[in-house]
């Protein structure tokens, strides 16, 4: 008997669901939500019962009995930063999804999965949520202690594409160094080192390249002045960063195909802005290659925008000197969710237990009276005498090379 898995991916204006028998999809549907329907709810979490009802109706209408399910898996939300993998939707995870620090439709994925799974008498999971955090500690530090860099990226799709490339290459994901770029409404670029994302841009808060609807990194001085100009409210400025930035701010559209059509009609402004977006993506790919110390096996381009050869060619022309480039257009998030659940059911992947936790405060790293994963990591790194010695030797050689005194 095949395992039957329900995968749930809630988005801002749709809820995508699919049912798989092992690897084979037997049903999928994208339930669209109009602005009028969404307006009746004060917050995303208030949409829970409504969206769950729509999913159950879709299953019933298509002859799928929830009692036939072997597992239910949902897209992960804005929870405590975790390492990649599959997590059981336990009470701690349920609590953090309900009381998430940021409203996002993905918060509903695990909640709906858990309730439907309980009705079916099976387990519920999430996998590779957007807050997967495997960053190097010093990659988190910004120039202002109150503003650390956070790991919020398209973990589910990036990890899935990285594993597909590894399989096609006859290698293990854990043996490869990759730069993976997801290009959709938001764009994230990440450095995957031996199966871990050691650095990444943050599309949600506007760090990294700009995209069809997000501003990307902005000049801090002018941004501060804009905040105090009196022209905009806090919510209006947040909307400029996330939702109404990027192509939307410049061209009044979030559609890359529309921008390309305008370019074909000799719209030079559209050409300038789209090239600027692609250029900002290419620069971040270069930055992530530095995180991998130049040891990059491949650059992977994915997401909906990767369907455009003109876009991928422009980016490739800027970064193909770094590593070979492979294009995986579109998103396979439902398939990836189902594959993660299937791997658990087959005993091929371990289920992690979610624990709500507070991140280490870098300024307290010397306080030995309290436990600190950050301190443990730094001590471990410092204990690698051969690595440290090589690094110090390289620094000394550099200083000697540029020193005006020959006896140094």
Virtual torsion, Cα 207, 295, 389, 363, nearest 10 deg: 20
Nearest partner of 124 among 141, 143, 139, 109, judged by Cα: 109
Report the alpha-carbon distance of residue 176 to residue 192 in Å, rounded: 8
pLDDT tens for residues 97-106?
A: 999 888 888 8
DSSP reduced 3-state for 221: helix
Token pair of 252 as six digits: 């009044």
Q: Does residue 392 surpass a pLDDT of 70?
A: no
Please choose, from the candidates 148, 166, 252, the residue with its C-alpha nearest in 3D space to the C-alpha of residue 202: 148
Say how far apart CA 75 and CA 340 lie, in whole Å. Answer: 11
pTM of the model: 0.83
Percent of the chain with pLDDT over 90: 74
Three-class secondary structure assignment of 176-195: CEEEEEEECCCEEEEEEECC
Strands 14-21, 24-32: pairing is: antiparallel
Residue 137 has pLDDT above 80, yes or no: yes
- The CATH number assigned to the domain with range 1-131+332-359 reads 3.30.420.40
Q: How confident is the model at residue 359 (pLDDT cuts 50, 70, 90)?
A: low
**Is it the case that residue 372 has pLDDT exceeding 80?**
no
Residue 14's CB: how many other CB atoms inside 10 A? 14
Torsion of the alpha carbons at 93, 98, 99 and 103, rounded to the nearest 10: 110
Residue that the structure tokens 């204006």 belong to: 13
The predicted pLDDT at position 328 comes to: 96
1-131+332-359 and 145-323, same CATH topology: yes
Supply the pLDDT for residue 88: 96
Q: Which of 234, 80, 230 is nearest to 150 (CA)?
A: 80
Binned at pLDDT 50, 70 and 90, residue 35 comes out as confident
Per-residue pLDDT, averaged over 69-94, amounts to: 94
E strands, 57-176, in order: 71-75, 86-88, 123-127
CA–CA distance, 273 with 301 (Å, rounded to integer) = 20
Mean pLDDT of 248-258: 94
Mean pLDDT calculated for residue range 143-154: 91
Q: How many CB atoms are located within 10 Å of the residue 358 CB?
A: 6
Pick the CATH number of 145-323 from 3.30.420.40, 3.40.50.970, 3.90.1720.10, 3.30.70.1290: 3.30.420.40
Which pLDDT belongs to residue 408? Answer: 40
Helix axes 268-291, 309-319, angle to 10 degrees: 50
* Confidence category of residue 127, pLDDT binned at 50, 70, 90: very high
Sign (positive/negative) of CA torsion 364, 365, 367, 368? Answer: positive
- Mean pLDDT, the chain, as a whole number? 90
Helices then strands, each counted (H, E), the chain: 14, 12
pLDDT confidence bin for 205, thresholds 50/70/90: confident
Extents of the domains making up the chain: 1-131+332-359, 145-323, 371-402
């Amino acid at each position: 008997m095949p395992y039957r898995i329900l995968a749930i991916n809630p988005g801002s204006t749709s809820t995508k669901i699919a049912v798989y028998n092992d690897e084979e999809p037997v049903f999928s549907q994208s339930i669209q939500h109009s602005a009028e329907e969404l307006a009746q709810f004060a917050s995303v979490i208030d949409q829970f019962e409504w969206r769950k009802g729509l999913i159950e109706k879709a299953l019933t209408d298509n002859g799928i009995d929830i009692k036939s399910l072997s597992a239910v898996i949902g897209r992960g939300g804005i929870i405590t930063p975790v390492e990649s993998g599959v997590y059981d939707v336990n009470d701690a995870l349920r609590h953090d999804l309900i009381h998430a620090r940021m409203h996002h439709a993905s918060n509903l994925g695990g909640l709906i999965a858990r309730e439907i799974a309980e009705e079916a008498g099976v387990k519920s999971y999430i996998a590779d949520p957007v807050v997967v955090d495997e960053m190097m500690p010093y990659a988190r530090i910004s120039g202002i202690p109150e503003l650390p860099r956070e790991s919020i990226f398209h973990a589910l799709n990036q990890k899935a594409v990285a594993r597909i490339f590894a399989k096609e290459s006859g290698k293990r994901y854990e043996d490869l160094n990759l730069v993976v770029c997801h290009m959709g409404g938001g764009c994230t670029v990440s450095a995957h080192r031996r199966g871990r994302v050691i650095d990444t841009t943050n599309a949600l808060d506007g760090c990294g390249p700009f995209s069809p609807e997000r501003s990307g990194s902005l000049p801090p001085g002018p941004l501060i002045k804009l905040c105090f100009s009196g022209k905009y409210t806090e919510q209006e400025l947040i909307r400029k960063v996330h939702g109404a930035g990027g192509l939307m701010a410049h061209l009044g559209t979030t559609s890359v195909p529309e921008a390309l059509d305008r370019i074909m009609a000799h719209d030079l402004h559209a050409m300038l802005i789209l090239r600027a977006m692609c250029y900002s993506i290419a620069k971040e790919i270069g930055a992530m290659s530095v995180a991998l110390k130049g040891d990059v096996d491949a650059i992977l381009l994915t997401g909906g925008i990767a369907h455009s050869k003109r876009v991928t060619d422009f980016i490739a022309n800027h970064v193909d000197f770094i590593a070979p480039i492979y294009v995986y257009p579109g998103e396979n998030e439902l398939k990836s969710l189902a594959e993660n659940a299937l791997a658990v059911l087959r005993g091929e992947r371990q289920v992690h237990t979610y624990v709500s936790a507070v991140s280490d405060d870098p300024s307290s790293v010397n306080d030995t009276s309290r436990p600190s994963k950050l301190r443990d990591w730094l001590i471990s790194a410092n204990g690698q005498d051969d690595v440290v010695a090589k690094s110090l030797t390289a620094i000394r050689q550099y200083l000697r090379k540029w020193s005006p005194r020959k006896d140094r």
